[in-house]
Amino acid sequence: MTLAVFCGASLGNNEAYANAAKDFGKYLALNNINVVFGAGSVGMMGTLADAVLEHGGNICGVIPEKLKDLELAHENLTELIIVKDMHERKATMAQLSDAFVALPGGLGTLEEIFEVWTWAQLGFHKKPCAFYNVDGFYDKLLDMIKTMSEEGFLKQEHVDIMIQSSYKEELITAIENFEPKEYAL
């Protein structure tokens, strides 16, 4: 399996986030799960990549030329794919991956996971999407999703596409067992 991991270019203020990125990277490497990510060398991204590489895993980075030129790309990845812009980056990451997971992060992370979730809702792909809810980081966002659903802007079956867990083993098992449905628009 190849998993796209979206996560922050920063480390956050709670050391639980960096610890989770490190631990998750190790777990993916040891379980032969290939990783695709935004190729960053800093923050959660860099921590994840270093952990995957340290434990002999495969990690492919996809980065737009401009960010590469700013020397933001990790230099020791298994593979580095340089693309034209952010649109091509997200399309490439989506094509290469069998599933998507968001660790804690900022706007970039949210944008990436919401895009693939929206694509699933509209039937453009049937791949599982997941929040790795480290230390309750996504609790308030998930409350907002509940509000959207209760207020009639989001169908429950589209909420249910998104896997959420605070435990990496549970998260990966749910991704592996995910059964795609035909969703009503």
Is 12 an interacting residue with respect to ligand AMP (CB under 6 A)? Answer: no
Number of H helices, E strands in the chain: 8, 7
- The size of the interface with ligand AMP (CB under 6 A), counted in residues, is 19
Residue position matching structure tokens 């933001």? 72
DSSP assigned state of 73: B
| Min CB(38)–ligand AMP separation in Å | 2
Say how far apart CA 119 and CA 177 lie, in whole Å: 20
Which of positions 23-52 make contact with ligand AMP (CB under 6 A)? 38-40, 42, 45
Is 107 an interacting residue with respect to ligand AMP (CB under 6 A)? Answer: yes
Q: What angle do CA 157, 130, 28 make, to 5 degrees?
A: 150
Binding residue for ligand AMP (CB under 6 A) from 106, 115, 119, 154? Answer: 106
Is 72 an interacting residue with respect to ligand AMP (CB under 6 A)? Answer: yes
**Are 39 and 73 spatial neighbours (Cβ–Cβ below 8 Å)?**
yes
Interacting residues toward ligand AMP by CB under 6 A: 6-10, 38-40, 42, 45, 63, 67, 72, 105-109, 112
